[in-house]
Amino acid sequence: MGNNLHHVVLTSGRVQRLERSVEAEARINICANLLSEAWAGGEPTVPGIVPTLSLSVIRGGGCLSVSLSRTDIPFAPPVVTIGVAERAQCGAQLWRVLHDEADPHQLATVGQPLPPEPWCAERRDGADTLYVDAARWASLRDFECCLAWAFLDRRAGRENA
């Protein structure tokens, strides 16, 4: 699988190729536990992000879709949707879904080719400002990438949780 991941911000079009760091391992384990709880039917809260967000998942083949929603607003729509693709077979479909479910005028990646797998894409679904606790996550991108690596580890059979 390797230790590289392409991270895409759909609203800005920014694509970065990121390397997995040793320092990220503890945060990846936190994300692996969040994913395990979500796959068991729960909606765990994400530590270190304000307002408090719950996590729900849909997975299929080598892809994962994660929705983060506010816990203080009943039936709140997602604030952020994160897509993770390990394989091209589901990656192309996930890329289309991430774009089809959004206003095309808000996405800089409309009509752009998807990045090479594995990739992680962030789509902001709301105007909510999210504050990230620097003691927990370096940034929202850090959380998203750790979540992606936790999923990719599970797919590769390297799950720690």
Cα of 64 vs its chain's centroid, Å: 8
Q: How many domains does the chain have?
A: 1
Q: Is residue 144 included in any domain, yes or no? A: yes
Q: Is residue 140 included in any domain, yes or no? A: yes
Order of all β-strands in the sheet with 63-70: 15-19, 4-9, 119-124, 78-85, 63-70, 53-60
| pLDDT single digits (tens) 15-51 | 999 999 888 899 999 999 999 999 999 999 999 999 9
| pLDDT single digits (tens) 82-128 | 999 998 889 999 999 999 988 888 899 998 999 999 999 999 988 78
Predicted pLDDT of residue 22? 84
Q: Is residue 48 included in any domain, yes or no? A: yes
Which ranges of the chain would DSSP assign to H, the alpha helix?
25-39, 88-100, 140-156
Range of the domain at 80: 4-156
Q: Give 105 or 5, the one with higher predicted confidence.
A: 5
To the question of pTM greater than 0.75 for the whole model, the response is: yes
